[in-house]
Amino acid sequence: MDIPQQPEETRRRYKDMGQGKLNRHIQEHLPADIPLRTVQQIEARTVEIAKTIDEAIANSTPEVRIHRTYTKPGFCKDVNEKIKAARRARRRWQRLMDDESQEEYRKAMRQKKNAILQANRNDHRERVSEVDSPESLWKLAKWVKNRDKPKTVFTPDIVHQGRRITEWEQKATAFAATFFPSPPPAELDDIAGYTYPPYVPSPDITEEEVRQAIQGSAADKAPGPDQIPNKALKAAGEHLTRPLQKLFNACVQAEYCPKYFKHSTTVVIPKPGKTTYKEPKSYRPIALMNTIGKIMDSIVARRLQYYAEKYQLLPRSHTGGRKATSCEHALHLLVERIHAAWRDNKVASLLLLDVTGAFDNVSHKRLLHNLRKRHIHPMIVGWLGSYLQGRTTEIRLQEGTSQPIDTNTGIPQGSPLSPILYLFYNADLLDIGGPEDLVTGYIDDTSVLVVGDTKRTNNTSLEAIHGRAEEWARKTGSVFAPQ
């Protein structure tokens, strides 16, 4: 029986990272700043910075061999030493078979058991102590629910286009075809010759913006293909802030996104609760992007959010992906309007619109047009145009990682930019209602509430609104879910 073997991995032990050595190496080896006036200079500078950080990590952080099947969260060096000591004692007892070695083996087993219990207790308490929001509470509940489930070491055979696939390379190809399909065509006739309104000012990126983006990044997030984690960027932030600020400003001014920022790893994760995992749609893609690029993504995303609020560039009822709004906010708006209708003895009717594969089917030309139409600076729009083109990813399965594939469709999921970009993309959809209708949106979900004297009049109104929604879908290449 041929059982797939999971390849052994090596990783850096970042909890033992020498922060002083890391910073000294970057300070001593990062090349001096030069003017970045051409695309070639931007590309070279990006690689220089990433290479210096990577070398600093190798110089300051020990490397360990791991096997994901046997890796236990919360186990520290002391626990691992106790486990190894128990194994040595067992082998010695099996070799000698005397009372002394047996007693040493029993003692080592007790010490191992106590160390594991203490490590599990500390890990549990640490996770509970980190709960500071409803989101982190849900994450804790999910961890408790899944912590004892066995981990798979290979991807089950899948069926794609009526064919059973057993080889992992072919599985990766099937997942790529499922996750990155060709989007439906969008009607773009209205873009040619469009006269755009004045744009809002967009000053240079500041060192403080870079510093906040680095320090605000999640330290334990999985890194992208370059394996540079946020933890290393945060540790070296003092020496990276100014070089990155100069690089990011050069990118915006040249309206160019380096190739290094546009490569990612797509991890394939089973969706919970599925009855079968034989279809690629039973899995979810998780994009892991190079962290230096995500720092710039975060800065641009914050700017777009700031412009949207300061200059009122988006409908107020468009929630999610922006400051001080949430799904609860949208629900409160709906509930308040429904109760008001009932108090006036009116009938409230609701139309729900859900876009299928929303982020994957975004038309780049339509998105860039919508950004310009809503007053975003041409240099930011130009950089975003470069950012969306020429993207590549590699599909990572349990058995291995595929060769890079092109992903020139949609908005890259996993980027801080994705939510706010989609708000600009579908903002026109929230204008389909009449002056008395309430149209609310939560990123890619939209609801239309109409109030009238009878259900029939409401249905007539909703049919007309649905027609305008279908017109928006044709212009954007979007498809509404049938149910």
Q: Which two tokens stand for residue 328?
A: 């609860």
Percent of the chain at pLDDT > 90 equals 63
Name the β-bridge partners of 165: 158
- pLDDT tens for each residue of 385-430: 999 999 999 999 988 899 999 988 889 888 999 999 999 999 999 9
- pLDDT tens for each residue of 444-480: 899 999 999 999 999 999 999 999 999 999 999 999 9
- pLDDT tens for each residue of 341-394: 999 999 999 999 999 888 888 999 999 999 999 999 999 999 999 999 999 999
State yes or no: pLDDT of 156 exceeds 80. yes
pTM value is 0.83
